[in-house]
Structure 1
């Protein structure tokens, strides 16, 4: 099977998979027949190149010739192979050369069906150019590196692209005094009519020349000739880089005297001593000196801490292993995210072998790992390192036990157990990284170690080691597939009978995580009846972690039909289904939500402006302009984006309202009213959110204010709405005492005085007059036919028509400022109904999560698989048979409908269960 597809084409190591090996074998045979050299794993830069991927990629793009003819194609291909960004042109050309040497002839033969050119003009030539399909001995001319454009061109040979030479520019294209060359390519050869004469005079004065020296005359100016000046012989147009060139000064040679007895007696003596030692060691003059051995501690720091720990662990020396395990525990804890097994080959195996040394502490045997192809193990204490030990449980049971006193231990026992625990702890810390877990999952001795550790005697001193083993199993079992007879699977099931809550939790999680990263399903076969009943009973505990672990197990267990059949035939499902139904409401919170039963009703705008109460008018008049007009607008008008009022109508209402003020102004008293233009501007300032002065094209031209409407009832400065007196008045008669009143007391006095004719005494109270009184309130039928006999009786009835007390929250003074956001009075909200909703744990998309989700998924598995069981088939053959789904789900059907009505996140999952049950 081919390796998983990577995000890019990078290959940092030699590939090894069946398709690649088969392709390399064919390619090796092809090059042997052709008589050319072949490297199965060539390198470009610092990385190996996968020849199969390179061949397929180039062929998909049309082949070598088409890729070479495309501009910058090889450079793009180098980027796709992630060869690096440093000097990418050179790497791209190296990649092109690799294809030419090893794959070009093979492409011509297998893809195009033609005879490739001889190796003299193909593999033994440079990769510059293309045209392999038409290349012959007669028409092929090796590229000349002196061609134009070979230097200073991005599309050079080293770039992996042939390209075209840069167009040479003449002298007129270069600006005078330009610092660049006359042409970006190679300098052109001089015309044949000009003989080449090298210039021997300096192109500029020496650095020590005086500044006051005069330039030579035109007659004495030297004639510049040669390849660099034949194209542009004038000195003015020459490149400054050439004209100002000055060669480097010659550096004096450093001479060292030869060591002789005369000039250096001590040095000569040391050399003679060294010659004698070499001759005694068998050194022959003329041969190279043997390599000098540098011992640790003598100007050599030795290996780093990682390699030192690995070597010390493998040494078998107790003190060295103490040192290694101490540092490995610290490194794995602090640098666990960087410390990987694949970077230190043999480390995982060494740790496993060290952890297996726990066996001699409790059994009279010592486990040994053997890697044998035939699988024949010579002894009972040998583990199969290639395929795993299938009968390891039987071997453990057959081992003679050592009498261990758990209360009193020897120093040797404690030290040995400490090393084993440190090795297991290092494994546990490193396997928390997914790359390490995947690496160790391929080591069969690890499975045997976990089985051995979980089956150690039930003593307190091994509890720590067992928990390390369970943590390792939880991280690694996702890469393993268990069958019913697997020793590790049986050992994990045995841990569920433990009295240790932590061991039960981790064992359940390990079993549930099995085969998570594999295509095989985890059928969870061979679960004993009593153990399954315990898991069902644990769902009743008030333990969140245990509840999650049990529900995860039940979700996977009920996904298999045979498992559901076992539960139906051997256990009572009714308590489990009732518990799962209760768990649908686990940790949910109830909220009341008002849902409107229709749309809001919009009251039509009044055609006339409401009358202003006398008390409110007195407050407004005291204000100065423009606050007076703004407050008047707020009290009698409100914002409505769908309504409009003509500017002339609004201006006339303003003048009529304050006509008495205008009279006072005419008499030289009172505050001045706003002019028409200023008043219209003030309207937009008062209702700054929606009111806009607009013009409607005529004829006639209409000027209006859009965004405001009349209030049906005026409001005071605090936004409190006045109440309208609905007492019937004969037409043509003005409403006595004003039409609107703010407080209940004002309305009460108004009705008694102005409509019933009662007169208050000096204390402000009314006498109980004996007379006939009728109620003329709109739509009130009290005292219509039978009148009240006295004032007290009608007064008690009048109080029901008085408005409620003003709201205490509306106490802000709106005078002199912008209008605040107020609730619109013309929009009557629709009637609402209160619903009780449940909200539990959910994800970022407000979907169900946690215990309720897992519980409803278990219920759905049961509803789907109950009709498929063998028990269902037997049950349906009986007379008056009732299906298992109806038998188990009919009692909870009403509860499921209730939960579905209040918890929207579970609707889709509950519906899928109800559809099957119904």
Structure 2
């Protein structure tokens, strides 16, 4: 079956807030523009929804894009269900509706441009496009005469303009009509000489004046093809020339038509054979006439019958077993595959027929056949009559009084199995259809359905009925949100009784149905009449490692504890301490613990050093291998860095450059950069922030703004060196820092032992650790070996390794020749000192799309919050507080778990708002 066409325009325009706001805004736009708005335009017999039309055109790129595309307006008209018999004209009418009412509005709202004046937009026809570029200067309205044969205004498309009309295509006397279609061949000349003086005068002939001169009149000749051709009679002078040039018409080729055979066209051959047979039968019938059924339409004579939906509905209502079997088989398939479109309101009587069918299950196990009464006259005192209007409040008592049939669950008759199968199929169809919200709301107002659910849940406990009971529970889960139950309602008590079942599926579905009672209604869902065993079972099930069951139990507890009387019932009939402890543990259900660090304080900017750092020898060796200006650029990157707040004088920077390279460049035979080139290279090296400036004042200074000295140099790859903090004794007795830099810890280790400690080094680079003496550690702020100096060098050597930097890049890769610029990664400024960090353990539990708390932890904290708020309002609490030195129930339940509650509040960011409400409720109680 072909899918139904999408109805874009309803027969009556919708009165929705969105539509009204759009029309009001559009009307204000037209008032400001000085044009007239058609609020309810029509195309043919169909009203056009301007909001839907605007959205449809904008989705396709706008008016200009659709107008540029061939047949686009016709395609849009097809989607709008315009009649196909006159689609070109209606498509242009649809285009004109948009052009007059919405085109200028689209330019302003969608494209954010100024629309053309109304003189070249609304006041003209919708022919053409390019509204976004249309102006008074570049736009000239198209003349109607230039339109092509297939591009009239009624075609709905603009297409390519037709070519200019050729003078030869317009025959004399044609009234200026442009020929349509393909260009016609030139008319053939007929060798015909008319009579000048005809003795026969036509009806409209005019009397000839004796004074007028004879003239040749154009005469019309009709050729074989039916086309009119005009010619001027040939004169006698050129008649012979025309005869000489006369050529006879070419002979027409024979037309060959294929013969239909089973080989070349089997379908057409078979059709013709059937036609021959039908003709023969009609001839035989004419010779032997039979009595006919006048006024009766026989099957197969032009009526296809109802569709499958109506066929199933009628078959289900017929009461015939075979027909019902056919209907239920297809209804199960339809409700499963088309459940999102198959609605009860489209098929009146279908829901009632399905309910009547599932009620037949009682006849298989009891001596009863239920009847549904919808009038007071039919509602007698009989046990088998159900109230179809208000429901049957004593349905449980009636079921208890029914006489049971002897049914063997192991051996069943064929008739019993077929009947039970049809009931299950009807129940499955109901279950599939109520999964759609519209169907669930539709059947929730049917009292017989609630009676059936009550009957199904109280059928005998047999294996053959498990499937039907699960269908009943699924239906109850979907419709209880639209129902309000009293404490003695039969369906409500039947759902509570399922909590004593041993079937996990039945328990789970029953809990979900109970938690949804009155969810969409304004009436409060108090859940009165909960037996104590049900509450105890729910508390016990929260201890199981079953997340689905845990969710369902917590949902019921949340609804139940929201009522003060229910909390009072819990205090007197159930032990709440285990429940509170379990709920506190569930706050960390499924939590992932991660360690995150936070800064303790703010970043600090260190002042710049007074002089540049000492250039390491290995770095100087690498720089000397480079050519200028690359050498000066790398030297600047190693000893200086960008800082928009600092500056260095140009002369100081130049002198430092000369001091560093003057003693050595002469040895390698290379020259330094001139001062001007060097200063220019500084701005090139630090192009983002550094610039040469003149600092005003009493004495003008030429500075480089935006750079500062590094306290620690870096190598050509941007890695910082490590500073030696060994303090050596000076002549005046003061301790002077070493201030030399090394990249590898091995080199710093040899430097300390060789240069500061004075240990002797062998040719292979090893030290004699066995030598004895008095050794102390002079590392800055180190107090080791101050009171008791080390007696062996090995003791000091082992201690010195504590001060060495960690091993990083291997020495071979650092000493290799420089092969390119430093890496492009953004290095953090060395003068910014980060504050110390502190690590915290964070708990991550389930969250939703908005990164808010969800799942089991949220349900647990909500139940705890209900208990904390309502415990102090119960009568049991009032009685307990009258006893001297009594402890409130809030303190008794929550004080033992208070540390864990604060821990969850501090470490679980998603639960923090809810935990704060919980702790406030505990403290205010």
Provide the TM-score with structure 2 as the length reference: 0.68
How far the C-alpha of 1:782 sits from its partner, in A, is 5.5
Partner Cα distance (1:629, 1:805) in 2:
29
Q: Any unmatched runs of 5+ in structure 2?
A: 1-6, 25-29, 52-95, 103-117, 125-138, 147-171, 190-225, 229-278
Partner Cα distance (1:441, 1:592) in 2:
51
How far the C-alpha of 1:838 sits from its partner, in A, is 1.1
In the alignment, does 2:615 pair up with 1:602? Answer: no
How far the C-alpha of 1:852 sits from its partner, in A, is 0.9
Decide whether aligned partners of structure 1 residues 419 and 74 sit closer, same or farther in structure 2, where only a CA change above 3 A counts: farther
Which secondary structure does the structure 2 equivalent of 1:577 belong to? Answer: helix
How far the C-alpha of 1:211 sits from its partner, in A, is 10
How far the C-alpha of 1:459 sits from its partner, in A, is 0.2
Partner Cα distance (1:421, 1:413) in 2:
12
Match of 1:753 in 2: 754
Decide whether aligned partners of structure 1 residues 563 and 794 sit closer, same or farther in structure 2, where only a CA change above 3 A counts: closer
Match of 2:55 in 1: none
What is the 5 A alignment of 1:56-135? 75-76=38-39, 84-85=47-48
Partner Cα distance (1:463, 1:420) in 2:
13
What is the 5 A alignment of 1:566-581? 566-581=569-584
Q: Deviations over 1:142-201 (max 9, x none)?
A: xxxxxxxxxxx999xx99xxx99x999xxxxx99995489xxxxxxxxxxxxxxxxxx98
The partner residue of 2:861 within 835, 838, 856 is 856
Which secondary structure does the structure 2 equivalent of 1:644 belong to? Answer: strand
Partner Cα distance (2:141, 2:506) in 1:
87
Which secondary structure does the structure 2 equivalent of 1:593 belong to? Answer: strand
Partner Cα distance (2:188, 2:747) in 1:
112
In the alignment, does 2:556 pair up with 1:558? Answer: no
What is the 5 A alignment of 1:392-407? 392-407=395-410
Number of residue pairs the alignment of both structures matches:
720
Q: Deviations over 1:412-438 (max 9, x none)?
A: 001111111111111111111111111
In the alignment, does 2:710 pair up with 1:711? Answer: yes
How far the C-alpha of 1:536 sits from its partner, in A, is 1.1
Decide whether aligned partners of structure 1 residues 860 and 83 sit closer, same or farther in structure 2, where only a CA change above 3 A counts: farther
Match of 1:318 in 2: 321
Kept in 2: contact 1:613–1:738 (CA 8 A): no
Decide whether aligned partners of structure 1 residues 696 and 844 sit closer, same or farther in structure 2, where only a CA change above 3 A counts: farther
703-712 vs 575-584, which moves further:
703-712
The partner residue of 2:767 within 765, 768, 771 is 765
Match of 1:38 in 2: none
Decide whether aligned partners of structure 1 residues 68 and 392 sit closer, same or farther in structure 2, where only a CA change above 3 A counts: farther
The partner residue of 1:420 within 418, 423, 441 is 423
How far the C-alpha of 1:916 sits from its partner, in A, is 2.9
In the alignment, does 2:448 pair up with 1:445? Answer: yes
What is the 5 A alignment of 1:245-284? none
The partner residue of 1:888 within 878, 889, 893 is 893
Partner Cα distance (2:821, 2:802) in 1:
36
Kept in 1: contact 2:379–2:386 (CA 8 A): no
726-735 vs 887-896, which moves further:
726-735
How far the C-alpha of 1:807 sits from its partner, in A, is 5.7
Kept in 1: contact 2:313–2:327 (CA 8 A): yes
429-438 vs 809-818, which moves further:
809-818
Match of 1:816 in 2: 820
Match of 2:505 in 1: 502
What is the 5 A alignment of 1:498-537? 498-537=501-540
620-629 vs 420-429, which moves further:
620-629
Kept in 2: contact 1:602–1:827 (CA 8 A): yes
How far the C-alpha of 1:479 sits from its partner, in A, is 0.9
Decide whether aligned partners of structure 1 residues 780 and 478 sit closer, same or farther in structure 2, where only a CA change above 3 A counts: closer
Which secondary structure does the structure 2 equivalent of 1:458 belong to? Answer: coil
Pairwise CA RMSD:
5.0
In the alignment, does 2:713 pair up with 1:723? Answer: no
Partner Cα distance (2:412, 2:514) in 1:
34
Match of 2:807 in 1: 805
Q: Any unmatched runs of 5+ in structure 1?
A: 1-11, 13-44, 62-66, 89-152, 169-173, 182-199, 214-248, 252-265, 282-289
What is the 5 A alignment of 1:657-672? 657-664=660-667, 670-672=669-671
Decide whether aligned partners of structure 1 residues 800 and 363 sit closer, same or farther in structure 2, where only a CA change above 3 A counts: closer
Decide whether aligned partners of structure 1 residues 681 and 432 sit closer, same or farther in structure 2, where only a CA change above 3 A counts: farther
In the alignment, does 2:435 pair up with 1:432? Answer: yes
What is the 5 A alignment of 1:120-519? 178-179=143-144, 203-204=175-176, 292-373=295-376, 376-519=379-522
Decide whether aligned partners of structure 1 residues 737 and 501 sit closer, same or farther in structure 2, where only a CA change above 3 A counts: closer
Partner Cα distance (1:445, 1:810) in 2:
89
Match of 1:259 in 2: none
Q: Deviations over 1:533-566 (max 9, x none)?
A: 1111111111101111000000000111111111
Partner Cα distance (2:741, 2:443) in 1:
88
Decide whether aligned partners of structure 1 residues 321 and 887 sit closer, same or farther in structure 2, where only a CA change above 3 A counts: same
Decide whether aligned partners of structure 1 residues 636 and 867 sit closer, same or farther in structure 2, where only a CA change above 3 A counts: same
Match of 1:585 in 2: 588
Decide whether aligned partners of structure 1 residues 649 and 550 sit closer, same or farther in structure 2, where only a CA change above 3 A counts: same
Kept in 1: contact 2:861–2:915 (CA 8 A): yes
Partner Cα distance (2:737, 2:35) in 1:
97
Match of 2:743 in 1: 742
Partner Cα distance (1:736, 1:592) in 2:
40
How far the C-alpha of 1:327 sits from its partner, in A, is 1.0
Partner Cα distance (1:69, 1:793) in 2:
95
The partner residue of 1:909 within 900, 907, 914 is 914
Decide whether aligned partners of structure 1 residues 203 and 808 sit closer, same or farther in structure 2, where only a CA change above 3 A counts: same
